[in-house]
Structure 1
Amino acid sequence: MNTEFLLTSLVVVATPGTGVLYTVAAGLSRGTRAAAVAAVGCTLGTLPHLAAALTGLAALLHTSALAFRILTYLGVAYLLSMAWSTLRDKDAFTVDDRDRAAAPPSAARVIASGVLVNLLNPKLTLFFFAFLPQFVTPGEPGALPRMVQLSAVFMALTFVVFLLYGRFAAAMRSRVLTRPRVLTWLRRVFAGAFAALGARLAFL
């Protein structure tokens, strides 16, 4: 495996973004298992981008400003909705035993949200389109399997790194979430981060 590919992929994955933020929020609010489920969802969210790159849709997004903008604004809208829901939901982060009776979000719902977080991120499509081909020889018979292999490595790195972020957040859960003032600021920070990421995406 190319060392340059591994290092670059690791930097891309480890750089905090929407997926990391979503996984950390899951770990803080519902613990290690929820963080792992969120990491799975965010990892699966890279599959559509991989498929787009392999089928040539990424080329369309790269050349069509309208198609790229539509996908971008869908992502912006989703991030802003996450910011609003995080800010107004005062029970988003809690470790109170009384809350255990309330039904937590299902694994399917957590995964679906994680998929959407990465699905509506056009930068991932461009990453697969612009980055992966650099490690594949054009016209080589095994070019397609090679791209699939590299993509699988990228997805594995995504899951492992996101899981580490989530586990760390879960480990800090009881220390952070038993303080009301911290809870208030935590909601504001996460809401602000989602909104900031949405604004940044809007002005790409």
Structure 2
Amino acid sequence: MISAEFLVTSLIVVLVPGTGVIFTVSTGITQGRKASFYAALGCTAGIIPHLAATILGLAAVMHTGALAFQTLKYAGVAYLLYIAYGTWRDTSVFALDSVSPRSTALSLVVKAFMLNILNPKLTIFFLAFLPQFVTPGAAGSLPQLLLLSGVFMAMTFVVFVVYGLLANAFRTTVITSEPVQAWLRRSFAAAFAGLGAHLAFSEK
């Protein structure tokens, strides 16, 4: 069940840069180490509904129900484009010694949570991914799925925290260069917009 194959595959999946990674990295650079922790927490929490849908069998319904999939997909596209627009328009200067963070812990968690929960591809991914590691004939698949899900979430959180810490380590370099700040802001905005476009044109 918790095999080397599962751990390696999960690690590769988590390491591949996606919406959550980009958001956590951008938060680590712009708002610091603690903020990136909350971003990682929100992104990890955003996995829970998709795992729950998989475990409860709702993913199969979404997989066959085009309307449900398309509705959730375009809600995700709209949210990604909203984040891209907000990032592009944000012209405030990054600062190391802010009196208070620009975003509260709750707002960061909620924003990160929404980024992941509005990605229907995650539900389809877990539907295809998790069952491969359930041991046939074992006493119940539900405990196995819960354990696999817990391990995947723990791995996601740890990797995202490391991404945030690495991003924070480069904050000083970024903050001392306005051109670098502008380039990063536009790169993050373009990345969010690109992810939104990819999701919009993706098939089931």
TM interval, short-chain normalised: over 0.9
Shift of 1:141: 2.6
Specify the alignment match of 1:127 in structure 2: 125
**Residues 135-154 of structure 1 mapped to structure 2, 5 A cutoff:** 135-137=133-135, 140-154=138-152
Is the contact made by 1:83 and 1:195 (CA closer than 8 Å) also made in structure 2?
yes
Shift of 1:65: 1.4
**One-letter code aligned to 2:77:** V
Taking the aligned partners of 1:114 and 1:5, their CA distance within structure 2 comes to: 25
Specify the alignment match of 1:167 in structure 2: 165
Taking the aligned partners of 1:44 and 1:134, their CA distance within structure 2 comes to: 23
Specify the alignment match of 2:95 in structure 1: 95
Taking the aligned partners of 2:136 and 2:51, their CA distance within structure 1 comes to: 18
Shift of 1:96: 5.5
Specify the alignment match of 1:198 in structure 2: 196
TM-score, normalised relative to structure 1? 0.94
Taking the aligned partners of 1:23 and 1:103, their CA distance within structure 2 comes to: 15
Specify the alignment match of 2:4 in structure 1: 3
CA offsets 1:87-120 (integer angstroms, 9 cap, x no match) = 00112x50264xx235531111110111111101
**5+ residue gaps, structure 2:** none
Identity of aligned residues (%): 54
Is the contact made by 1:95 and 1:174 (CA closer than 8 Å) also made in structure 2?
no
SS at match of 2:94: coil
**5+ residue gaps, structure 1:** none
Taking the aligned partners of 2:95 and 2:36, their CA distance within structure 1 comes to: 15
**One-letter code aligned to 1:175:** T
Is the contact made by 2:31 and 2:101 (CA closer than 8 Å) also made in structure 1?
no
CA offsets 1:124-155 (integer angstroms, 9 cap, x no match) = 11111111011114564331010000000100
Is the contact made by 1:94 and 1:178 (CA closer than 8 Å) also made in structure 2?
no
RMSD: 1.3
TM-score, normalised relative to structure 2? 0.94
Runs of 4+ in structure 1 over 6 Å off: none
CA offsets 1:148-188 (integer angstroms, 9 cap, x no match) = 00000100110011111100000000111221111111111
Taking the aligned partners of 2:75 and 2:155, their CA distance within structure 1 comes to: 26
Taking the aligned partners of 1:75 and 1:103, their CA distance within structure 2 comes to: 26
Taking the aligned partners of 2:102 and 2:182, their CA distance within structure 1 comes to: 20
Is the contact made by 1:136 and 1:146 (CA closer than 8 Å) also made in structure 2?
yes
Is the contact made by 1:95 and 1:178 (CA closer than 8 Å) also made in structure 2?
no
For this pair of structures, how many residues does the alignment match? 201
**One-letter code aligned to 1:95:** A
Specify the alignment match of 1:73 in structure 2: 74
Per the alignment, do residues 157 and 105 of structure 1 end up closer, same or farther by CA in structure 2, a change over 3 Å counting?
A: same
